[in-house]
Amino acid sequence: MVNVVIMQHAGPDDYASGHAAIAAAQALVDSGAKVLQVFFYGPGVLYSSHYLQFPSGVKNLQQQWLEFATTQHTPLVVCSTVANQYGIEPNVPPSGSLAAGFSSGGLTEFMEALSKADTLLQFQPGLQHSCQHSCRQETVAVRELLQRNSKTAKDITNDASSDAYDAALLFEFNHSPWQAISRHGLDMLLMAVSLDIPCQAIYNNAALSQLVVPTEQNGYDPLKKIAMLNNVFDFTEFYSPASDMVAAGNQQYRVPLQEASAEQIAQMQASAKHHIIF
Amino acid sequence: MIEFNGVQYATDQYEYLADFDAWNPELAAHIASLENIELTPAHWEVVNFVRNFYQEYDTSPAMRVLVKAVAKSLGEDKGNSRYLYTLFPKGPAKQATRIAGLPKPAKCI
């Protein structure tokens, strides 16, 4: 059986992403796959609000996740640290504002589920694609996964039975340090590295500025902790496409950044067990 | 709110100091006494360590990070949970950061 983890990173008012995620989850279980966990991260934590409402005429995606969770015995895990930032107190009312059926957790639970999963499906707001594009992409991903399921379910099951944290995670960052998504991604990378999970991190385009040594006039540095990766955990797997590094000019980076060719990046993408995009 | 020597220090809802810069060593000893800890040089080493850590990385270290970072800076004999728990029995990350005037470490990281 193929085991899948779904990460919902887009908020509940991002209907396209929300519909795509539910549809993918349903298609997977219909084909005999198991959804081990749905993890709500970033603005996606708002799915767990007791006070969430959908306008009439729009499908209640929260209700759909709750029904899915009940029938499939799939935990709906919400990152409690991010949820706090979105005003969700991780208890059901009256003491909190968490909707019954969601469980307050964090990156540790997510990493644990990921270690048992064959595939991660990630649903983001727009990200670098237009919405239509990303929805189509997810559909393709599900279709490929289903095909893989029918062909090699046995091999995949064998793979999954190996050690807990042997998953190699490839993180890809696309945004400037000023966007919350960059911090969410960094927190996840830090968690993975602190759990000794072999990781690689690719910084594309605007994300390269996350690694540039900040100057005094930049003032607040939202990603100061990025230096922990190398200084505390000896993590050195920072990569950037050669073309982006040339475009960025002569910069001083705060981590040991390596230049990677398009072929090398394609190879990393193909060989990583899970590919996570922020 | 922590009151000490006639001064009121603002705190967060978990009684962690709100302002990193309002901290001083006497206040640290007072917060430690609220935690039933008498500060020895061994405690001070960790308290000073987490203060420097916070200044460098702008983050309050949770347990896994604390162990790793202490091991790296102060050696393996101190960077392990057994040693740190003997100093801070109710949770080294929780207690050391509070005494050092740091925010409460995030649950996740």
- Best mutation target among A89, A191, A228 (most B Cβ atoms within 10 Å) is A228
DSSP 3-state assignment of A277?
A: strand
Residues 174-193 of A with CB under 8 A from B: 187, 190-191
Domain count, chain B: 1
| Residues forming beta bridges with residue B9, ordered by sequence position | B2
Q: What is the DSSP letter of A49?
A: B
How does pLDDT run across B62-85, given as a tens digit for each residue? 999 999 999 999 999 999 999 999
pLDDT above 60 (res B3): yes
How does pLDDT run across A229-244, given as a tens digit for each residue? 999 999 999 999 999 9
Q: Give the C-alpha distances (Å, rounded to integers) separating B78 from A128, A194, B42, B64.
A: 45, 18, 10, 13
Q: Say what the pLDDT of residue A187 is.
A: 95
What is the torsional sign of CA A74, A153, A32, A169? Answer: positive
Looking at chain B, the number of H-run helices and the number of E-run strands are 5, 2
d(CA A52, CA A80): 17
d(CA B36, CA B29): 10
Residue A198 neighbours by CB under 8 Å, 6+ apart: A166, A167, A168, A169
Q: Say what the pLDDT of residue A141 is.
A: 61
Residue A268 neighbours by CB under 8 Å, 6+ apart: A170, A200, A202, A239, A260
Whether residue B86 lies inside any domain: the answer is yes
Judge whether B109 is closer than 8 Å to chain A, CB to CB.
Answer: yes
What residue ranges of chain A are covered by domains with CATH 3.40.1260.10?
3-160, 169-277
- CATH fold for domain A3-160: Hypothetical Protein Ychn; Chain: A, (3.40.1260)
User: Which of chain B's residues have a Cβ under 8 Å away from the Cβ of A232?
Assistant: 65, 68-69, 72
**Which of A132-136, A202-206, B15-19, B39-43 shows the lowest mean pLDDT across its residues?**
A132-136
Q: Say what the pLDDT of residue A129 is.
A: 34
Residue B80's CB is within 10 A of a number of other CB atoms, namely 13
Whether residue B109 lies inside any domain: the answer is no
Mean pLDDT for A187-198 is: 94
Judge whether A213 is closer than 8 Å to chain B, CB to CB.
Answer: no
Which residues span the domain enclosing B72? Answer: 2-99
Judged by CB atoms closer than 8 Å, whether chains meet at A232 and B109 is answered as: no
pLDDT band at A168 (very low <50, low <70, confident <90, very high): confident
Judge whether B69 is closer than 8 Å to chain A, CB to CB.
Answer: yes
Whether residue B81 lies inside any domain: the answer is yes
d(CA A6, CA A34): 11
pLDDT above 80 (res B34): yes
Q: Say what the pLDDT of residue A135 is.
A: 42
Residue A91's CB is within 10 A of a number of other CB atoms, namely 12
d(CA A191, CA B36): 31
The token pair at A196 is: 């000794």
User: Which of chain A's residues have a Cβ under 8 Å away from the Cβ of B57?
Assistant: 224-225, 227-228
Whether residue B104 lies inside any domain: the answer is no
Residue B71's CB is within 10 A of a number of other CB atoms, namely 16
Q: Say what the pLDDT of residue A167 is.
A: 43
Single out the residue of A247, A252, A248, A277 nearest to residue A265, CA to CA: A277
Single out the residue of A208, A205, A188, A14 nearest to residue A114, CA to CA: A188
Is A3:A34 a contact under the CB 8 Å cutoff? yes
Across the beta sheet with A199-203, the strand order is A257-260, A238-241, A199-203, A169-173, A274-277
User: Which of chain B's residues have a Cβ under 8 Å away from the Cβ of A191?
Assistant: 108-109
More confident residue, A135 or A216: A216
Is A211:A253 a contact under the CB 8 Å cutoff? yes
Phi/psi of residue A275, nearest 5 degrees: -120, 120
| Residues forming beta bridges with residue B17, ordered by sequence position | B11
Mean pLDDT for B37-64 is: 96
d(CA A150, CA A28): 12
Q: Give the C-alpha distances (Å, rounded to integers) separating A208 from A26, A99, A113, A269, B97.
A: 37, 38, 30, 18, 32
Judged by CB atoms closer than 8 Å, whether chains meet at A224 and B68 is answered as: no
Domain A169-277 grouped into CATH 3.40.1260.10: yes
For residue B23, the Cα-to-chain-centroid distance in whole angstroms is 11
pLDDT above 60 (res A51): yes
Single out the residue of A254, A224, A238, A227 nearest to residue B72, CA to CA: A227
Residues of B classed as catalytic: 108
Is A194:A235 a contact under the CB 8 Å cutoff? no
DSSP 3-state assignment of A76?
A: strand
Judge whether B59 is closer than 8 Å to chain A, CB to CB.
Answer: yes
Least CB–CB distance from A232: residue in B72, B106, B108 = B72
How does pLDDT run across A218-274, given as a tens digit for each residue? 678 899 999 999 999 999 999 999 999 999 988 999 999 999 999 999 989 888 999
The CATH number given to whatever domain includes residue B21 is 1.10.10.370
Q: Say what the pLDDT of residue A130 is.
A: 32
Looking at chain A, the number of H-run helices and the number of E-run strands are 9, 10
Residues 108-127 of A with CB under 8 A from B: 108
> A103 vs chain B: nearest CA distance in angstroms?
14
Least CB–CB distance from A194: residue in B58, B68, B106 = B68
Least CB–CB distance from A80: residue in B58, B69, B107 = B107
More confident residue, A141 or B103: B103
> A262 vs chain B: nearest CA distance in angstroms?
32
Radius of gyration (Cα) for chain A, nearest Å? 19
pLDDT above 70 (res A104): yes
Q: Say what the pLDDT of residue A220 is.
A: 84
Whether residue B64 lies inside any domain: the answer is yes
User: Which of chain A's residues have a Cβ under 8 Å away from the Cβ of B108?
Assistant: 79-81, 106-108, 187, 191
How does pLDDT run across A107-156, given as a tens digit for each residue? 999 999 999 999 999 998 764 333 333 444 555 566 665 555 444 433 44
Is A92:A50 a contact under the CB 8 Å cutoff? yes
Q: State the average pLDDT for chain A.
A: 86
The token pair at B75 is: 């050696």
pLDDT above 60 (res A164): no
Whether residue B106 lies inside any domain: the answer is no
Is A173:A278 a contact under the CB 8 Å cutoff? yes
For residue B91, the Cα-to-chain-centroid distance in whole angstroms is 10
